[in-house]
Structure 1
Amino acid sequence: MNANQLINSKSIYLQQHAHNPVEWYPWSKEALDKAKLENKPILVSIGYSACHWCHVMERESFEDLEVAKLMNAQFICIKIDREERPDLDNIYIEAVQVMGLQGGWPLNVFLLPNQKPFYGGTYFTKDQWIKVLSGVARAFSQEYKELVKSAEGFGQSIERSIIDKYGLKKRNTGFLPENARELARKLAKGFDPEWGGMKRVPKFPMPTIWSKKTWVKRFVLPWKKWVWEVFMIT
């Protein structure tokens, strides 16, 4: 069987799906642009190598030619390794929870071509999955305006600031360098000097988090903004 777009992925989990008949893409500009160009909903499926139900759903549905044919015809399908992209995993877990559903893995979320989520869920049996795919495809074709309204509502909830979300209040307290140093000291106490990562279980290997470039991009820059907010609120 021919390989899909996951064949060159560094993730072991994504490599495991590289020979599915589903035309999987990694999270990429190419896939997102393709959804807009073809005006198709996006299916984001998130899992990880040690996830039992992720492999069950792969065996029951993602390796099935009938299911793959439906997925390929109606959706732009994106596979994500939650251990490689915890940032995206967090976003879509919250999106599903905002919809009033329970999060977990495999996490399957449907997005409009503009990447706004409108429906999701976790594990589905093959029969359930076919019904979900057919229902979503039909809604996208026949009830698009309603999906847009739903997506806008979920988006507003997800995008609320920390202050609005938790009912916090601002205060006019200046930011001090010592505040940042104290936060860093407290954070460092949670590092595991022997095995790496944080002192907690279960441990998920997330090597990209600790690379210098990724750390600055994903943590230091957002952290600066977050620190400023923290010391401006009571």
Structure 2
Amino acid sequence: MSDNPKHTNRLINETSPYLLQHAHNPVNWYPWGEEALAQAEQQDKPILLSIGYAACHWCHVMEHESFENEGIAAIMNEHFISIKVDREERPDLDEIYMNAVQMLTGQGGWPMTMFLTPDLKPFYGGTYFPPDNRYGRPGFPRVLLGVAEAYRERRDEVGEQADQIIGNLNQLSAMEGHGHQLTTDMLDQAYQDYLSRFDHHEGGFGSAPKFPPSMGLSLLLRHWHRTDNANALNMVEVTLEKNGARWDVRSAWWRIPPLLG
């Protein structure tokens, strides 16, 4: 690395090798702490939380492709308070937000990319995002601009999504803490919850516009398969159709297009 790097951010004062690796990104990274959280609150900006670790291959790939890219960094700096976390230093944060990513996408991994409200409620996220549309994933700039627009223009939707995820996380924590096993009664109750919030005309759940709830759709498909309840299948089909999806639900294969754009 040059003795006179072009960019230096707040991570330069950290001890984690992973965080120091990002200290000369053009991204205005913050470490997790009071300064970053206060800035998110004061500037009314969503938090972009990126979690990884030093030996993670795709973490290095995303850094090179996106975090070293001045154009992408400019979008991040304008619209977000960006926080970088080493999962080996903060396994507690990693566990919480990895559960949230898995609830949103049905899968997890690193780098973890999570978007939070200033009060730390997750509302959208994923893992690795490429710098442009590829691998069936939306490009990172597209994701950033879409999330920023949603936070700015559709705050109620963001809040509903965040509250739903927090509720699910609390339920998961309660089940783990008490050693409860998942039961058919719990699954049936989850079905009833989705049914009560289903929009029969536009698809989705709650008030529009809506984030496609991938794990909820998966739950409904499994409920239909287990109970042969046609209402569960109809909720999935209408939601996917209204989101412009192509699918063959009855053979248990479907594809929901990216949320943003």
Q: State the TM-score, normalizing by the size of structure 2.
A: 0.62
Please point out which of 163, 174, 180 is paired with 1:167.
180
Structure 2 residue aligned with 1:206: none
Structure 2 residue aligned with 1:47: 52
> Are 2:70 and 1:65 aligned?
yes
**Greater relative contact order (CA < 8 Å, ≥ 6 in sequence):** 1
* 3-state DSSP of counterpart to 1:22: coil
> Are 2:8 and 1:3 aligned?
yes
- 2: CA distance, partners of 1:35 / 1:158: 23
> Are 2:98 and 1:87 aligned?
no
Shift of 1:13: 0.3
Structure 2 residue aligned with 1:231: none
Residues 157, 15 of structure 1: alpha-carbon distance in 2 compared, 3 angstrom cutoff: same
- 2: CA distance, partners of 1:82 / 1:23: 19
Given that 1:101 and 1:121 are in contact with CA atoms closer than 8 Å, whether structure 2 keeps it comes out as no
Shift of 1:161: 6.1
Deviation readout 1:9-49 (Å, 9 max, x if unpaired)? 01000000000000000000110010000000000000111
* 3-state DSSP of counterpart to 2:115: strand
CA RMSD of aligned residues (A): 1.3
- 2: CA distance, partners of 1:162 / 1:104: 20
> Are 2:153 and 1:148 aligned?
no
- 2: CA distance, partners of 1:162 / 1:111: 19
> Are 2:121 and 1:116 aligned?
yes
Shift of 1:99: 1.5
Given that 1:39 and 1:113 are in contact with CA atoms closer than 8 Å, whether structure 2 keeps it comes out as yes
Q: Tell me the amino acid that sits aligned with residue 85 of structure 2.
A: I
Given that 1:106 and 1:123 are in contact with CA atoms closer than 8 Å, whether structure 2 keeps it comes out as yes
- 1: CA distance, partners of 2:141 / 2:164: 26
Gaps of 5+ in 2: 1-5, 133-138, 182-261
Alignment of 1:1-234 (within 5 A): 1-127=6-132, 128-160=139-171, 162-164=173-175, 167=180
- Structure 1 stretches of 4+ moved >3 Å: 161-168
- 1: CA distance, partners of 2:148 / 2:173: 34
- 1: CA distance, partners of 2:144 / 2:174: 37
Q: Tell me the amino acid that sits aligned with residue 15 of structure 2.
A: K
Given that 1:118 and 1:147 are in contact with CA atoms closer than 8 Å, whether structure 2 keeps it comes out as yes
Q: Tell me the amino acid that sits aligned with residue 9 of structure 1.
A: E
Deviation readout 1:82-108 (Å, 9 max, x if unpaired)? 111111100110011121331100000
Gaps of 5+ in 1: 169-234
Identity among equivalent pairs (%): 54
* 3-state DSSP of counterpart to 2:63: helix
Residues 163, 78 of structure 1: alpha-carbon distance in 2 compared, 3 angstrom cutoff: closer
Deviation readout 1:171-212 (Å, 9 max, x if unpaired)? xxxxxxxxxxxxxxxxxxxxxxxxxxxxxxxxxxxxxxxxxx
Given that 2:105 and 2:126 are in contact with CA atoms closer than 8 Å, whether structure 1 keeps it comes out as no
User: Across the two proteins, how many residue pairs are aligned to each other?
Assistant: 168
- 2: CA distance, partners of 1:162 / 1:4: 35
